[in-house]
Structure 1
Amino acid sequence: MKRFVRIIKSKLVLFLLLLFVFVYLNNSSFFTEQRSGAPLLLAHRGLAQTFTMEGITGDTCTAERIYEPEHPFLENTIPSMEAAFRAGADIVELDIKPTKDGQFAVFHDWTLDCRTNMQGKVGDFTLAELKKMDIGYGYTADQGQTYPFRGQGIGLMPSLEEVLAYFPDQPFLIHIKSNDPQEGGQLARYLETLPDNRLQQLTVYGGDEPIAALQSSLPGIRVMSLATMKSCLLPYLAAGWTGYMPSACENTQLHIPEKIAPWLWGWPDRLLSRMDRANTRVIVVGGSGSDFSSGFDTPQDIQRLPGGFTGGIWTNRIDRIAPLYQNGGN
């Protein structure tokens, strides 16, 4: 009996050892295709004014806490997007809000109070009325002693249609800033008018309900929400060690906080290759996920990424990050 138990134990140990070796080799960079090239750079809100993230909440007026300006661009404007692409961005992220006259304004905040010289919700105004506002009015780097962008933001709030017409061949990440399914339906009706090759250049993310509504009308477009992230990552965490790829991970986008990424099976190269085969884009954002606006904004930030990283990088300072990968850099 003791001999039998010893045999069982030895076989169990051998099985666990072989299983460990399999899991390790199947999720390491060994025996995987060599990845090369520069990472994909995603410019958050174009080239924008940045601000301290300390103590920030959903109600914080970020225009009142910007750093001393180093460039003249304001977020979510055509000049800021043009500057981002010129600097080296592969994709630009922008925010949309429905207007009173059924269009989409490109603007971040729910209300106009923080950034502009007007008050009220974006949806209370027509696009023509919004264009008369000064979107640079509320920016200050010194607690209101000076306002360096006042008078410079009049007419700069674009519509989504204007942005896509101005940049007919550039990729965008469109952010629905609500959980209203009607916004998803409204956006789907507009995007349905675009040719298929243009839709392939666009990704939409936002609340679960508008993204579900959008996807039901446009099943081929790449989307992301908390629900789509969970439906992909939870089964992947459970079984991805085998190489299994959940169907929910196909044709989507994943924003992975840098502190969580190393816990995903195959990080980084094998995971990226698996997601490439599923036509899914992996974007790494800064921090632990408490704020998905945190990015890699300095050369020191980039050093936290694995060497030779070829996935997507979320940045608020494309002007600082893109040069690291140009002319054979990094």
Structure 2
Amino acid sequence: MNKKRKIGRKKLFGLLFLLLISFVYLNNTSFFAKGQEKAPWLLAHRGLAQTFHMEGITGEMCTAERIYEPEHPFLENTIPSMDAAFQAGADVVELDIQPTKDGTFAVFHDWTLDCRTNGKGVTREYTLEELKQLDIGYGYTADQGKSYPFRGKGVGMMPSLDEVLTHFPDKEFLIHVKSNDPHEGEQLAGFLAKLPSSRLSQLTVYGGDEPIRALQERMPELRVMSKATLKSCLIPYIAVGWTGYVPSACSHTQLQIPEKIGPWLWGWPHRFQERMEAADTRVIVVGGDGSDFSSGFDSPEDIKRLPAGYSGGIWTNRIDRIAPLFR
């Protein structure tokens, strides 16, 4: 009798295990997900910008000295480059901001001026008017300093954040805070609080944990992202997402998912995308493994690495090459 009971229990446990596996599979397969016919939306990193080779690059290197031979006349983080990106087919443009000495925000990537411009020193130690006197194309070279094709062409082209938002009143932007200073988040909250809710819905801010936390506390209605918000969503999701449960930390935010991390997420890509859309969260896939969130999908060969039918956001440094593949 005991032997029969043991056999019966083994069969029962085996059946329950089979049912659990079937549930996990059916609950997370993308086969039944909707929306796979939608085209993905495209995010142009820094607008339409000069790109550079990434071999051996570190955070201290001057990327303006590593550009490829220019194929277009645009410089990153300028109004013409953003206009060109939107004209090419970008749905969202990413831009970088630096606080200025006179209490506003300049749209510029670097902590210092020495790499790209004819200025010297820390960007935030200058007023906006002083920054506008600089030539932001001064340092670009594709031949190790033999020629500088953009010198003299970038004078006065560093815009303020206010100028960008005014020039593009109905376009979507991803704003990058380039520090981990909470006061910068407080300052940005003061600036953004003047905008109507309809305009705020078109903006997302990401950056260091501290400024994003300060910004989120003051403006909970604003979509934000940092490494901290990313972890607070994805770590519990990886633990329990197989059930279909979406943690509250995944609501009304943005997730920049490295392409090599995506397959580890329950329901990736379509069921995962479906769940995040239901939570009012945007998903953008970036290139690589997460070590460099600037890596994008910049060629037709890169696009082939995306899952079939992917309909979320795509991060690209070459919107001019990628948009025609989807438009």
Query: Which TM bucket (shorter chain)?
Result: over 0.9
Partner of 1:164: 165
Map 1:131-210; keep pairs closer than 5 Å: 131-210=132-211
Partner of 1:270: 271
Determine if contact 2:276/2:282 at 8 Å carries over to the other structure: yes
| TM superposition shift of 1:29 | 1.9
| TM superposition shift of 1:242 | 0.4
**CA distances 1:182-208 after superposition (whole Å, capped 9, x unpaired):** 000000000000000000000000000
| TM superposition shift of 1:30 | 3.1
Partner of 2:301: 300
Could you list the structure 1 runs, at least 4 aligned residues long, displaced by more than 3 angstroms after superposition.
none
May I ask how many residue pairs the two structures share in their alignment? 326
**Greater mean alpha carbon deviation, residues 109-118 or residues 32-41:** 32-41
Partner of 1:240: 241
Partner of 1:6: 7
Partner of 1:30: 31
**CA distances 1:203-232 after superposition (whole Å, capped 9, x unpaired):** 000000000000111000000000100110
CA distance in 2, matches of 1:149, 1:8: 76
CA distance change for structure 1 residues 165 and 299 in 2, over 3 Å: closer, same or farther? same
**Greater mean alpha carbon deviation, residues 288-297 or residues 27-36:** 27-36
Map 1:55-134; keep pairs closer than 5 Å: 55-134=56-135
Partner of 1:314: 315
1:289 aligned onto 2:272: no
**CA distances 1:294-319 after superposition (whole Å, capped 9, x unpaired):** 00000000000011210000000000
Determine if contact 2:47/2:81 at 8 Å carries over to the other structure: yes
CA distance in 1, matches of 2:68, 2:33: 43
CA distance in 2, matches of 1:311, 1:39: 5
CA distance in 2, matches of 1:74, 1:33: 39
3-state SS of 1:30 partner: helix
Map 1:225-264; keep pairs closer than 5 Å: 225-264=226-265
| TM superposition shift of 1:13 | 1.2
3-state SS of 2:210 partner: helix
The amino acid that maps onto 1:270 is R
Map 1:201-220; keep pairs closer than 5 Å: 201-220=202-221
1:53 aligned onto 2:54: yes
| TM superposition shift of 1:273 | 0.7
Runs of at least 5 residues in structure 1 that lack an aligned partner in the other structure: none
| TM superposition shift of 1:6 | 1.6
3-state SS of 2:150 partner: coil
3-state SS of 2:106 partner: strand
CA distance in 2, matches of 1:87, 1:248: 34
Determine if contact 2:259/2:285 at 8 Å carries over to the other structure: yes
The amino acid that maps onto 1:15 is L
| TM superposition shift of 1:55 | 1.2
**CA distances 1:171-192 after superposition (whole Å, capped 9, x unpaired):** 0000000000000000000000
**CA distances 1:20-47 after superposition (whole Å, capped 9, x unpaired):** 1100000002333243221010000000
Identity %: 71
| TM superposition shift of 1:166 | 0.3
Partner of 1:223: 224
Determine if contact 2:106/2:159 at 8 Å carries over to the other structure: yes
3-state SS of 2:71 partner: coil
The amino acid that maps onto 1:157 is M
3-state SS of 1:175 partner: strand
| TM superposition shift of 1:162 | 0.3
CA distance in 1, matches of 2:31, 2:139: 53
Runs of at least 5 residues in structure 2 that lack an aligned partner in the other structure: none
3-state SS of 1:12 partner: helix
3-state SS of 1:115 partner: coil
3-state SS of 2:242 partner: helix
The amino acid that maps onto 2:306 is L
3-state SS of 2:86 partner: helix
| TM superposition shift of 1:4 | 2.1
Q: TM-score, normalised by structure 1?
A: 0.98
CA distance in 1, matches of 2:98, 2:33: 43
The amino acid that maps onto 2:130 is E
The amino acid that maps onto 1:96 is I
CA distance in 1, matches of 2:268, 2:210: 30
